[in-house]
Chains A and B, each alone.
Chain A
Amino acid sequence: MSVVVLEAGRWLDTQEDFLNDELSMLGTLDWDDPRLSDGENPLKLGRMNTGRAIGGTTVHFTAMKLRLHPDDFKLRRDEGIGVDWPFDYEDLEPYYDKAEDFVGVSGPRDTPWPGNRRSYPQGELPLNAGDEAIAEGFDKLGIQWRMTPHAVLTAEKEGRSPCMFYGFCVQGCKSDAKGSALVTWVPAAVKAGAEFREGCFALRIETSSDGLATGVTYLQDGELRRQPAGIVIVSCYSIETPRLLLNSGVANGSGQVGRNLMVHPASIGYGRFAKPLDNFVTPPVGIMTQDPYGTQGGRGFKRGYLLNRYSMFPIEFATSLLESQPDLWGPRLHEVMDRYPYWTILTSQNEMLPRPENRVTVSDVKDAHGVPVARVTMSYDDNDRAMLQHSDRYVEDVLRAAGAEEVLMSKGQYHVLGTCRMGEDPATSVVDPYCRTHDVPNLFVCDGSVFPTVGAANPSLTIEAIALRTAEHLLSKGA
């Protein structure tokens, strides 16, 4: 079998192309082509959620490597909400193990929550001063906490250095400690014979009259090219994947392509402490709690959330805060930002349920190549709002208990998921349990789009586990 990978972005070198500088790296790793964004809770699109480079969004991800919980897979069966995954946690577990071993996940030795590994391949990252402060708050309130498992090495692995605490994970890790696909899966694929082509923007999936995919038409540095293929796998993530399918007019017999877009809504609390914490000196995510995860009685909403300590460099700090602090200008801007090292951040990550009206469509607006751009529509419902109210209070309580003298609350949205739902029924889903589109037998979608529901955990590990499962299936069929 020969494999060709078409990637719109560049093949970046971790030493040559990455800088420890927020400004220089903006747009270098991100999919920041125009997209229309609307709904009552419009998404910021680009840096925060969609990458463009060999290695994709993992090149800028914060490297949190969490599993979904077992009960995340069966919400319809167990709670009568959302939709079930077409398989169980147990089906995915061996692939979780394999992905964690392969990228080298560092994490705690014992974790009190379901769906977490008992012992990670590498020891956990150290706490920074912000973590130490937040941990005190958790302890005072009787909340369990652990260091978050990270795709960040704490010991050497196959020529990759352990974490050097540059803090610049999101700007592209210069030490190769961060297990982005760029430094893990891609070199392995190259070694196994795959060919990666950079700067290739896919325009259309071509199909024949007998309903099979025959290849992909793409632009490479402005030149129109065509790659014939026996099997086509689309892995462009939850906005560009449905855009490509819709613009190609394929795999949408169910009318579900682009529907059920989900994010992780977030309560972001900025806490100012009496003394500097220099929150930015480690990977951006520190300790976490999953105590509020999943549906719990007496809260007035379904499902739940997790919390983690977070840091932002100055540009992200100020621009994110501005979203919810409209008066952050004039003397007030300086009052807040002149104390930058004194602030630390605690953020929630909330589960949202699939709803067909949250969706990606293609608009009348065209991009520089003349291709209709995605229109992304996102609105929260009462459950989302009730959960955010709860997580707002929870975040603020922890920051106050930790000793914060001032707390500013903001909102965020992490990850984009759904839009090509996986399921058994061709009438209500886009792909089957092995990511094969119901309509086109040799066309697959393999990325975060296939998630039927999203839990509250970061998706990258689950995306990798699903990809391993699909790859194994393809190989067993002698593809």
Chain B
Amino acid sequence: MNGRIEPEEFRQLMEPWDARMAAVAEERMRGNYSRDRLEHFTDEEAATMRALLARLIPEDEGVDLVGWIDSAIGKPMGRGDWKPGMPPELELYQTGLRMLDELSGTRFAEAPGERQDEAIRHLREDEVGAYFFQRLYGKALHGYFGHPRVWMRIGFYGAAYPEGYAWLGRDQVRMRHERAPGWDRL
């Protein structure tokens, strides 16, 4: 039971989009935020982060969340508040990743899933660890839920411009979803 939009249907939804919005979506689907080389993290840090994000967002729909975080360092993305006493963003992330390795007794990326989850729980009992979790995970969710393949997964139609949404009330929503895959299984 979900609202998944199949790729063919999403293509149809994209057809009326303006060129700029379509280009933004196409670029995300093509590039998945991947970078040729990471700008801010070592290979070890990237491996720990990748393993962490795989526990937090298990089904990544092919979105490169480590690439996303790397490209988003130093970009407040609409949120300027910072907790007094906490290290600056990049340092906070590096510290948190180091803590995860320490808490899992081995390299976090090599620990079994259960041990990883336990390390995440312990991390969040620490003030810096909890802030790291909140900020890094929050930023990762921006990249994930900003990606068109994730929109398809969760049943979000994306842009409405220039035509506008034509279905508003419950009857119209029902009519729309009656034609959508999965409605009959509700």
**Residues of A that sit less than 8 Å from B by CB:** 19-24, 26-27, 29-38, 42-47, 126-129, 132-133, 164-168, 174-175, 274-278, 280-282, 313-315, 317-319, 322, 326, 329-331, 333-334, 337-342, 363, 375-376
Mask, B145-169, CB within 8 Å of A = 1, is 1100011011111111111111111
**Are A27 and B75 CB-contacts (below 8 A) given A174-B161, A276-B155?**
yes
Interface check B179, CB cutoff 8 A: no
Determine the chain B residues whose CB is within 8 A of the CB of A127 once the complex forms.
168-169
A103 to B147, CA, bound (A): 35
A129 to B168, CA, bound (A): 6
Q: Which of B38-46, B77-85, B92-100, B102-110 contacts A (4 or more CB under 8 A)?
A: B77-85
A272 to B66, CA, bound (A): 31
Determine the chain A residues whose CB is within 8 A of the CB of B169 once the complex forms.
126-129, 132
Determine the chain A residues whose CB is within 8 A of the CB of B166 once the complex forms.
165
Residue in B82, B124, B151 whose Cβ sees the most chain A Cβ within 10 Å: B82
CB-based contact A282/B165 at 8 Å = yes
**Are A37 and B81 CB-contacts (below 8 A) given A315-B142, A322-B138?**
yes
A458 to B161, CA, bound (A): 27
Q: Please, which residue of chain A has its CB at the minimum distance from the CB of B154? A: A340
* Dominant secondary structure at the B interface: loop
Residue in A126, A132, A168, A278 whose Cβ sees the most chain B Cβ within 10 Å: A278
Q: Please, which residue of chain B has its CB at the minimum distance from the CB of A318? A: B141
CB-based contact B78/A19 at 8 Å = no
CB-based contact B155/A340 at 8 Å = yes
Interface check B90, CB cutoff 8 A: no
**Are A330 and B141 CB-contacts (below 8 A) given A45-B80, A164-B164?**
no
- Tell me how far the C-beta of B178 lies from the nearest C-beta in chain A, rounded to whole angstroms: 10
**Are A319 and B141 CB-contacts (below 8 A) given A21-B21, A47-B78, A47-B79?**
yes
Of A22, A38, A126, A165, the residue contacting B160 (CB under 8 A) is A165
A334 to B138, CA, bound (A): 15
Of A20, A36, A275, the residue contacting B159 (CB under 8 A) is A20
CB-based contact A27/B82 at 8 Å = no
CB-based contact A276/B24 at 8 Å = no
Q: Among residues 28 to 82 in chain B, which have CB atoms less than 8 Å away from a CB atom of chain A?
A: 55-59, 75-82
A428 to B117, CA, bound (A): 53
CB-based contact A276/B146 at 8 Å = no
Given contacts A38-B84, A45-B80, 8 further A-B contacts (CB under 8 A): A21-B21, A26-B78, A34-B82, A165-B166, A167-B160, A168-B159, A313-B156, A318-B145
A–B complex contacts, Cβ < 8 Å, 11 sampled: A27-B76, A27-B77, A36-B81, A38-B83, A126-B169, A128-B169, A166-B165, A276-B3, A313-B156, A318-B141, A339-B155
CB-based contact B167/A330 at 8 Å = no
**Are A166 and B164 CB-contacts (below 8 A) given A24-B24, A27-B75, A30-B78?**
yes
Of A37, A46, A281, the residue contacting B76 (CB under 8 A) is A46
- Tell me how far the C-beta of A23 lies from the nearest C-beta in chain B, rounded to whole angstroms: 3
Determine the chain A residues whose CB is within 8 A of the CB of B172 once the complex forms.
129
CB-based contact B167/A278 at 8 Å = yes
A99 to B59, CA, bound (A): 49
- Tell me how far the C-beta of B108 lies from the nearest C-beta in chain A, rounded to whole angstroms: 15
Determine the chain B residues whose CB is within 8 A of the CB of A342 once the complex forms.
3
Determine the chain B residues whose CB is within 8 A of the CB of A337 once the complex forms.
145, 154
**Are A276 and B137 CB-contacts (below 8 A) given A27-B76, A46-B78, A339-B3?**
no
CB-based contact A314/B145 at 8 Å = yes
CB-based contact A37/B56 at 8 Å = no
CB-based contact A329/B164 at 8 Å = no
CB-based contact B80/A341 at 8 Å = no
CB-based contact A338/B153 at 8 Å = yes
CB-based contact B59/A334 at 8 Å = yes
- Tell me how far the C-beta of B58 lies from the nearest C-beta in chain A, rounded to whole angstroms: 6
CB-based contact A165/B141 at 8 Å = no
A225 to B16, CA, bound (A): 46
A42 to B134, CA, bound (A): 14
Q: Please, which residue of chain A has its CB at the minimum distance from the CB of B78? A: A47
Determine the chain A residues whose CB is within 8 A of the CB of B154 once the complex forms.
314, 337-341
- Tell me how far the C-beta of A272 lies from the nearest C-beta in chain B, rounded to whole angstroms: 11
Of B77, B153, B157, B168, the residue contacting A32 (CB under 8 A) is B77
Determine the chain A residues whose CB is within 8 A of the CB of B79 once the complex forms.
30, 32, 44-47
Q: Please, which residue of chain B has its CB at the minimum distance from the CB of A323? A: B134
Determine the chain B residues whose CB is within 8 A of the CB of A331 once the complex forms.
58
- Tell me how far the C-beta of B44 lies from the nearest C-beta in chain A, rounded to whole angstroms: 23
Q: Among residues 107 to 139 in chain B, which have CB atoms less than 8 Å away from a CB atom of chain A?
A: 117, 124, 134, 137-138
A123 to B95, CA, bound (A): 55
Q: Please, which residue of chain A has its CB at the minimum distance from the CB of B161? A: A20
* A-B interface, 6 closest residue pairs, ranked by CB to CB distance from nearest: A23-B146, A47-B78, A164-B164, A20-B159, A281-B165, A37-B81
CB-based contact B186/A275 at 8 Å = yes
CB-based contact B24/A280 at 8 Å = no
A318 to B143, CA, bound (A): 12
A21 to B158, CA, bound (A): 7
Determine the chain B residues whose CB is within 8 A of the CB of A278 once the complex forms.
157, 165, 167, 173, 176
A127 to B173, CA, bound (A): 12
CB-based contact B56/A329 at 8 Å = yes
- Tell me how far the C-beta of A435 lies from the nearest C-beta in chain B, rounded to whole angstroms: 27
- Tell me how far the C-beta of A286 lies from the nearest C-beta in chain B, rounded to whole angstroms: 10
CB-based contact B82/A35 at 8 Å = yes
Determine the chain A residues whose CB is within 8 A of the CB of B142 once the complex forms.
23, 26, 315, 319
A280 to B155, CA, bound (A): 11
Determine the chain B residues whose CB is within 8 A of the CB of A282 once the complex forms.
165, 168
